[in-house]
Amino acid sequence: MKIAFFGDVVGKPGRQAVLDHLPGLKARLRLDFAIVNAENSAGGFGLTSAIAEEFFNAGADCLTLGDHAWDQREALTYIEREPRLLRPINYPPAANAPGKGAHLYSLPDGRRVGVIQAQGNVFMKQTLACPFDAVDAALDSMPLGAVADAIVVDMHCEATSEKMAMGHHCDGRASLVVGSHTHVPTADTMILESGTAYQTDAGMCGDYDSVIGMQKQISLYRFQTQLPGERYQPALGEGTLCGTYVETDDRTGLAIRVEPIRMGGRLSEIVPG
């Protein structure tokens, strides 16, 4: 199976990068399934139903969220009727959070792809339930190679150590563990010891002439003065599409190939051949 995960979409440049490049990439790479982390799509904060529908129409099969899941209030109700939208799986039970954090999707040919999103706790503003326990339960519900033909885990968190720990925790039980949230693509795409593909962060889809997707001067002012300053606004230059590509063994669901994807904007282009 051929699967791609695209990192956090930031504002209009990120949306445009997805809309411009995803349809062609699906055909060029013959993707069976495409996942997009869309939690910063609406002006840098959250996701609207209209934007989600644009992504689905462009070829996204699943959208994931993160710590900005509810920045747009309509997401609280939209997620209840849209199974292709996932929020972090590890909200505590008392939160009674709408939607789901994991789902098993069926392809037209009968193969099944599981997608799980978890949110880390290290250096994050929210403290959710243990992501490792929540991911364990989800993996147990859709065993790789038995129930699911492929499984992707989106680990949305700040600390690279927590992302790496999740990769090793899932090794042999997921096809791909990929990080989101930090908006910078890392150079560590690899297949772990027991066959799970891994990348610490897929990188954002957005304008890289920025500070992690936001206008430079606003961020610089805050760092230099320690004052709140203006509300963050997405940078508006040409966006780069960043993601992770994985090929799996249909027999086991484990990875046989993993590579980064970068197209457009300021970063050097990488497209799997």
User: Residues at the annotated binding site for Fe cation?
Assistant: 8, 39-40, 67, 156, 181, 183
pLDDT at 177: 99
The number of distinct structural domains making up the chain is 1
pLDDT at 201: 98
CATH code at 78?
3.60.21.10
The pLDDT tens digits for 155-190 are: 999 999 999 999 999 999 999 999 999 999 999 999
pLDDT at 17: 98
Joined tokens for residue 54? 């644009």
Q: Is residue 226 part of a domain?
A: no
Q: Which residues are catalytic?
A: 68
The pLDDT tens digits for 182-221 are: 999 999 999 999 999 999 999 999 999 999 999 999 999 9
pLDDT at 271: 97
pLDDT at 223: 96
Q: Is residue 273 part of a domain?
A: no
The pLDDT tens digits for 88-136 are: 999 999 999 999 999 999 999 999 999 999 999 999 999 999 999 999 9
User: Residues at the annotated binding site?
Assistant: 8, 39-40, 67, 156, 181, 183
pLDDT at 64: 98
pLDDT at 109: 97
Q: Is residue 217 part of a domain?
A: no
Of 111-115, 228-232, 266-270, where does mean pLDDT reach its minimum? Answer: 228-232
Distance CA 241, CA 263 (A): 5
- pLDDT classification of 258: cutoffs 50, 70, 90: very high
pLDDT at 273: 92
Q: What is the mean pLDDT of residues 57-73?
A: 97
- pLDDT classification of 239: cutoffs 50, 70, 90: very high
pTM greater than 0.95: yes
Per-residue buried b or exposed e for 156-192, using 16+ beta carbons within 10 Å of the residue's own CB: bbbbeebbbbbbebbbebbbbbbbbbbbebbeebebb
pLDDT at 47: 98
Distance CA 242, CA 233 (A): 20
Where residue 139 falls (left for φ over 0; alpha for ψ -120 to 50; beta otherwise) is: alpha
pLDDT at 136: 98
Q: Is residue 222 part of a domain?
A: no
Strands (E) across the chain are located at: 2-6, 33-37, 62-64, 85-86, 102-106, 112-119, 150-156, 176-180, 190-191, 197-199, 241-248, 255-263
Q: Is residue 223 part of a domain?
A: no
Instruction: Name the residue range of residue 151's domain.
Output: 2-207+237-263
Reported as type and span, the H/E element at residue 165 is: helix 160-170
pLDDT at 48: 98
Percent of the chain with pLDDT over 90: 100
Residues recorded for the chain: 273
Q: Is residue 51 part of a domain?
A: yes
pLDDT at 145: 97
Residue 76 identity:
L
Percent of the chain with pLDDT over 70: 100
Q: Is residue 213 part of a domain?
A: no
pLDDT at 105: 98
pLDDT at 18: 98
Query: What average pLDDT does the structure give for the chain?
Result: 98
Q: Is residue 220 part of a domain?
A: no
Distance CA 140, CA 136 (A): 6
